[in-house]
A and B are shown apart, each in its own frame.
Chain A
Amino acid sequence: MSELVKKNASELVELLQSGEITSVELTHAFLDRIEKLNPVLNSYLHVNAKEALATAVEVDRKRAAGEKLPMLAGLPIAVKDNLTTTDAPTTAGSKILEGWIPQYDATVVKLLREEMMPILGKTNLDEFAMGSSTEFSAYGPSKNPWDTGRIPGGSGGGSSSAVAGFLAPVAIGSDTGGSIRFPAAVTGTVGTKPTYGAVSRYGLIALASSLDQIGPVSRNVLDAALLSDVISGYDKHDSTSLPESLGSMAEAAKSGSLKGVRVGVIKELNGEGFQPGVKARFNESLELMVKAGAEIVEVSCPSFEYAIAAYYLILPAEASSNLAKFDSVRFGMRVTPEGNPTIERVMAATREAGFGPEVKRRIILGTYALSSGYYDAYYGSAQKVRTLIQRDFDAAFEKADVLVSPTAPTTAFKFGEKLEDPLAMYLNDIATIPANLAGTPGMSIPNGLATEDDLPSGIQLLAPAREDKRLYAIGAALEALHEAVWGKRMIDFAPEVKAGA
């Protein structure tokens, strides 16, 4: 295997810029590894080899000609398959969109093209990003490179397994309740959900519009920062996009320190239901931070108790409406029943055949939550819980600069373990959901292996809205402390994925 693919993106960028490697060479290295390991990991639903190489050739030509290039030009990237791309099918992990070639590029995809980053392909996800394991993808689950019998997290398990398995140096994810951060935690990678509105959602196939946010998936904090600086910024196509710049995350990551930082431990996210090994690693990290000059304070966020309940009302409600457009008329699958069916029956049959069970479950739940007579009790109350959670965050950030918790209660579970128990599946997101409800940024960074199963655990950092720089500064500092203790990156502990027979 080419050692090139294992390097951090920031190193690869330097090698590209200095001319030590070409983009074609680098892109080929990843394409080769994809060819070899994607049949095992199923990280990618579609590989865009030709288009990626065309971009790489262009970058190399321009570099050779001495033309000025964007910072990350030539660095390959993977894109979650719920972002529209005009040169590759976009399925959102659903049968209902099989074969659809979008008529427009998502804003983030446009930015990646302007940055001249070769797009390697589209990564797997739970159908319409509903899930925590990729088991709800209509195209089969992705595998965790640490143990292919286990889930890579979800919904963005395709991006996490691609980055953890060295099938891409960085990737784009989307996070509605933890879909970037949970996969990062269980694959030993870095996943960041920016402040709501920091990255344009235009072209992101909506799950829950008021919760969805696009963010970087990477193997290290600086890589995430470099990518964040490319994809962030105001977009007139997204009315919820933040008009102001949040500054350079790369600079924040390079200047990180823990000295004098008040680190808030959320009481409600450090107790029952957390795997002992996950908790042990978490407590060790707190000690490390104290040694580096941080101060640990305990904060209480009592309304977090209701976060999952509010989330599983708001998400299905918004999703039931967002997914109504999948009706067989303008794009996507059409199933026509026998006889001379009406359009109503064609739509119902198409949606029956095109949507998987979890999507149907959530659409029906959301339809219920919005129904007349139930709205106030369900959707209305859930929106009020959102306010309470924001108030909890506000109070906590009075006492602390960042909040921390384990990213997820457990390490990667085995396929099938929670498939028939939706409520158990929903609990994976207990620590990540509050940030989506409040619109605040969150980051999961590798936090060592849980002793009982030798699988990765993650620590989550949370900052106030628009203070994403704190995550990068403190995340990079903590990462450096970890790597000093471990003597290498956490991803370097991962076993080599074996190619299929």
Chain B
Amino acid sequence: MAKAELMNYEQALEKFEVVIGLEVHVELNTNTKMFCGCRNDFGDEPNTNVCPICIGLPGSLPAVNRKAVESSIAIGLALGCEIAPNGRFSRKNYFYPDLAKNFQTSQYDEPIAFEGTIDIEVPSGAVYTVDIERAHMEEDAGKLTHVGGNTGRIQGAEYSLVDYNRAGVPLVEIVTKPVYGAGAEAPELAAAYVRSIREIVKALGVSDARMERGNVRCDANVSIRPHGQEKLGTRTETKNVNSLRSIERAVRYEIQRQAHIIANGGTITQETRHWHEDRGITSSGRPKSDADDYRYFPEPDLVPVQPSNELIEQIRASLPEKPAERRKRLQGEWQFSDLEFRDVVNSGLLDELEETVAKGAKPQAARKWWTGEIARLANAEGKDVADLAITPADVAELATLVESGKINDRIGREVLQAVLEGAGNPAKIVADRGLEVVSDDGALQAAIDEALAKQPDVLEKIREGKLQAAGAVIGAVMQAMKGQADAGRVRELIIERANA
């Protein structure tokens, strides 16, 4: 499994048009599984959240989880889809040891939602409309552990172990239509699309939407064709791309790999490929001999799902604002420039910012704290901002303390550090440590007198118009006050003195 030869990215895009298609699996956060009452929690001891249904014991029968259906309808509506008046489940037949019944109960020709669209903004600010072909319900498979051989991979393993805790967990698979015209931004579009799906299902509250836990999984289809050619190129389906960054990298890699092959007279094999995060490459998946013939047929043990208009409208009415609309609204309310706003969105801090503003911070202040100092500290520690021990309420309090002049920026940064170290909330830290700015002019005047005594020519220079001369005195005063002074006020007092 070597790194394939790649064509330079710019060169590839000069020669070829890129077409992508994305299949995103969203794991629903229902209490129980899709077809049985076992706990939807697969981190537990192996094979403890299982029953005759989800380990496929002879005689067992499935029963559909109402909540999973409602969550699926909500996802469909949020993606602007139509909801099928008559949906049904089918069996997708293939043998694999993680599939307890050796068929997956899934929707096939009658998905619950179809024909939607979603606008996706990429980092450059360009907006692409992605058409959704369908969103359908299905069940997850169990989890395989490969033993022996090296590094726990399926290749070279001596045997495998199966845990069915995840078997039967409800999934919604969202499939796009082919996406044309993103050109060089196709990789960014793929990542931004998955980010949007995450935001949507999180906002709907139907999924925990954590990619690192596999709650949201993406398969990326990529094909290329020479500019002007009508016929679509042969596509590959890259599986196992489980972070936004790797989606972007995997799509870019496939474009470059395919371009090299075609440019050198080769042909693309229609196949499943696997993304290897560590090496930044895709590799050919195992050719599945059964893949061409899943022998779908309507699941005879389940009856059709026919959502009433009342139910659909009830779910529609309860939908949260669409992410794109929300972003538009927030940018307007906060009066951020496009650049400022994109910076917030790309840092994934929109939720935090909104909550901070809601708790009383000024939008610009909230933005500066989150995308500035807090992001810097997270980065320095190699953590996600979300993992830091600071809440929007803390940041709002901090910003308000600075805004009201109770502390200055430098003290603010010190307070932030203390919050992260667990010393309590900002107001408490300021009080405990006596960090409040000295606003008593008398105390400041005394410090100014002391500083001027050491630099007697300063007042004269100011009178001559050299205002910058005040800087040295301000510095001395701030030092004497241990930083707990409002530098602006100190400056005002010095100038007043010179002009007195």
Q: Which of A240, A326, A327, A343 sits near B301, CB closer than 8 Å? A: A240
Q: Which of A102, A321, A371 sits near B58, CB closer than 8 Å? A: A102
* A104 beta carbon closer than 8 Å to chain B: yes
* Minimal Cβ-Cβ distance residue in A for B56: A325
Binds A, one of B5-13, B97-105, B306-314, B476-484: B97-105
Q: Which of A102, A237, A325 sits near B61, CB closer than 8 Å? A: A237
| Inter-subunit contact A209/B100 (CB<8 Å) | no
* B334 beta carbon closer than 8 Å to chain A: no
| Inter-subunit contact A371/B295 (CB<8 Å) | yes
A330 to B162, CA, bound (A): 10
| Inter-subunit contact A210/B93 (CB<8 Å) | no
| Inter-subunit contact B300/A209 (CB<8 Å) | yes
Binds B, one of A198-206, A252-260, A440-448: A198-206
* Minimal Cβ-Cβ distance residue in B for A314: B300
* A92 beta carbon closer than 8 Å to chain B: yes
| Inter-subunit contact B100/A318 (CB<8 Å) | no
- The tally of residues in B whose CB lies under 8 Å from a CB in A reads 31
Q: List 29 A-B contacts (CB under 8 A).
A: A102-B58, A103-B57, A104-B52, A104-B59, A106-B59, A202-B59, A202-B60, A203-B59, A204-B59, A209-B301, A239-B63, A320-B295, A321-B93, A324-B93, A324-B101, A324-B102, A324-B103, A325-B101, A329-B162, A330-B55, A343-B97, A343-B160, A370-B93, A370-B297, A371-B293, A371-B295, A375-B295, A375-B296, A379-B297
* A367 beta carbon closer than 8 Å to chain B: yes
Interface of A is mostly: loop
User: Nearest chain B CB to A437's CB is how many angstroms away?
Assistant: 13
What residues on A are CB-neighbors of B297 within 8 Å?
Answer: 317-318, 321, 370, 375, 379
A106 to B61, CA, bound (A): 11
What residues on B are CB-neighbors of A477 within 8 Å?
Answer: none
What residues on A are CB-neighbors of B64 within 8 Å?
Answer: 239
User: Nearest chain B CB to A398's CB is how many angstroms away?
Assistant: 27
User: Nearest chain B CB to A341's CB is how many angstroms away?
Assistant: 11
Tell me which of A103, A240, A325, A370 has the highest count of chain B C-beta atoms within 10 A of its own C-beta.
Answer: A325
* B95 beta carbon closer than 8 Å to chain A: yes
* B302 beta carbon closer than 8 Å to chain A: yes
* A331 beta carbon closer than 8 Å to chain B: yes
Give 5 closest A-B pairs by Cβ, nearest first: A324-B102, A370-B295, A209-B300, A210-B300, A203-B59
User: Nearest chain B CB to A328's CB is how many angstroms away?
Assistant: 9
* Minimal Cβ-Cβ distance residue in A for B301: A209
What residues on A are CB-neighbors of B101 within 8 Å?
Answer: 324-325
* A344 beta carbon closer than 8 Å to chain B: yes
| Inter-subunit contact A84/B95 (CB<8 Å) | no
User: Nearest chain B CB to A97's CB is how many angstroms away?
Assistant: 7
Size class of the contact patch on chain A: 35 or more
A343 to B95, CA, bound (A): 10
| Inter-subunit contact A325/B100 (CB<8 Å) | yes
Q: Which of B420-435 contact A (CB under 8 A)?
A: none
Interface string of B50-85 (1 = CB under 8 A from A): 011001111111111000000000000000000000
A106 to B52, CA, bound (A): 11
What residues on A are CB-neighbors of B61 within 8 Å?
Answer: 201-202, 237-239
Q: Which of B63, B95, B301 sits near A236, CB closer than 8 Å? A: B63
What residues on A are CB-neighbors of B51 within 8 Å?
Answer: 104
What residues on B are CB-neighbors of A204 within 8 Å?
Answer: 59
User: Nearest chain A CB to B249's CB is how many angstroms away?
Assistant: 32
| Inter-subunit contact A102/B93 (CB<8 Å) | no
Q: Which residues of A contact B (CB under 8 A)?
A: 82-84, 90, 92, 97, 100, 102-104, 106, 201-206, 208-210, 236-240, 317-318, 320-321, 324-327, 329-331, 343-344, 347, 367, 370-372, 375, 379
* B91 beta carbon closer than 8 Å to chain A: yes
A327 to B57, CA, bound (A): 11
What residues on B are CB-neighbors of A318 within 8 Å?
Answer: 297, 300
A120 to B334, CA, bound (A): 78
What residues on B are CB-neighbors of A326 within 8 Å?
Answer: 58
19 additional A-B pairs beyond A204-B59, A327-B97, beta carbons within 8 Å, are: A82-B59, A84-B57, A84-B58, A102-B52, A104-B59, A206-B59, A236-B63, A237-B61, A239-B61, A239-B63, A318-B297, A321-B297, A324-B101, A324-B102, A325-B56, A325-B100, A327-B102, A330-B100, A343-B160
* Minimal Cβ-Cβ distance residue in A for B292: A372
What residues on B are CB-neighbors of A201 within 8 Å?
Answer: 61
* B303 beta carbon closer than 8 Å to chain A: yes
User: Nearest chain A CB to B49's CB is how many angstroms away?
Assistant: 15
* Minimal Cβ-Cβ distance residue in A for B35: A239
> Given A209-B300, A237-B63, A92–B58 Cβ distance below 8 Å?
yes
A208 to B299, CA, bound (A): 11
What residues on A are CB-neighbors of B302 within 8 Å?
Answer: 239-240
What residues on B are CB-neighbors of A238 within 8 Å?
Answer: 61, 301
Tell me which of A82, A83, A206 has the highest count of chain B C-beta atoms within 10 A of its own C-beta.
Answer: A206
| Inter-subunit contact B295/A325 (CB<8 Å) | no
What residues on B are CB-neighbors of A321 within 8 Å?
Answer: 91, 93, 103, 295, 297
* Minimal Cβ-Cβ distance residue in A for B53: A237
User: Nearest chain B CB to A56's CB is how many angstroms away?
Assistant: 26
User: Nearest chain B CB to A314's CB is how many angstroms away?
Assistant: 9
| Inter-subunit contact A239/B62 (CB<8 Å) | yes
| Inter-subunit contact A330/B57 (CB<8 Å) | yes
